Structure 1
Amino acid sequence: MPIDDQRRLIDPARAEAALAGLGDRATLQEWAERFSVIADPTRLTLLVCIHYAREICVSDLAAVAGMSDTAVSQALRLLRAHGLVTAHRSGRTVYYRLADDTMHELIHRVRPHSESDGVG
């Protein structure tokens, strides 16, 4: 999308840099939707727990988050639909993990690791 020619620019170079930084608008929309999903404190709690555990099953996640298995399963379904977590089955148990390094980095920004956490 070009810069509106009808507007007077104070610093065209910075305006061009800002426009270039926006990149694909569809990607911005996708991330806005992801942020709206993780803005919920319950879902963010689950993501932080998954981050620290590396991978975890629903029952264990429910226990540490103080939620019912059903509530955790519903939240995980939404997180999975938005590509924030992935799952794999081991026997009868399904384990969840964060979907990508970007989500790990976001969690580091929300809840940075400290030396006392024992997590590297």
Structure 2
Amino acid sequence: MHLVPADRAHRTPIDDHRPCEAIAAIGDPARVAAWARRFDLLSDPGRLTLLLAIDSAGPISVTDLATASGMSDTAVSRALRLLRTAGLVEPERDGRIVRYRLADPAIRPLLAAAAS
């Protein structure tokens, strides 16, 4: 049981190899926390709607996202601010127009699964 931390080594395993396999699968706790934050962002129907729209039609403006999603421009802007802060989307300025595109390709498979 080489992967079991010292503070948990006193526990008697049922299957000697299973705890190590599970620890290896869990991996870095910081990575798990980062994915949990992504899932938290995806748990909101409005934000998920915007990400699906951006993934398929991006780069796309706030106004066009509001039209597509049925949300107000203000609600779209608020949601995009959260998604931008989390690194999931990034703005692209074209004069006065700002369009958004996906910045984190790791969420594409999740969006594809949600869209199907």
- Per the TM superposition, whether the score is higher than 0.5 is yes
**Aligned ranges for residues 90-109 of structure 1 at < 5 Å?**
90-109=94-113
**Aligned ranges for residues 37-56 of structure 1 at < 5 Å?**
37-56=41-60
Q: Which runs of 5+ in 1 are unaligned?
A: 113-120
Cα distance in 1 between the residues matched to 2:113 and 2:25: 21
- Residue in 1 that maps onto 2:11: 7
Q: Deviations over 1:27-69 (max 9, x none)?
A: 1111111211110111111111111103211000000101111
Cα distance in 2 between the residues matched to 1:30 and 1:103: 12
Query: Runs of 4+ in structure 1 displaced over 2 angstroms?
Result: none
Task: Say if 2:91 is the partner of 1:87.
Answer: yes
Cα distance in 2 between the residues matched to 1:27 and 1:36: 14
Cα distance in 1 between the residues matched to 2:49 and 2:11: 44
Q: Which runs of 5+ in 2 are unaligned?
A: none
Cα distance in 2 between the residues matched to 1:71 and 1:44: 13
Cα distance in 1 between the residues matched to 2:105 and 2:34: 17
Which amino acid is 1:2 matched to?
P
State the shift of 1:74 in Å. 0.6
Q: TM-score, normalised by structure 1?
A: 0.87
Structure 2 counterpart of 1:78, from 79, 82, 97: 82
Cα distance in 1 between the residues matched to 2:68 and 2:33: 32
Cα distance in 1 between the residues matched to 2:52 and 2:16: 41
Paired residues, number: 112
| RMSD of aligned residue pairs (Cα, Å) | 1.4
Give secondary structure in 2 for the equivalent of 1:12. coil
Q: Deviations over 1:9-28 (max 9, x none)?
A: 11121210110111111111
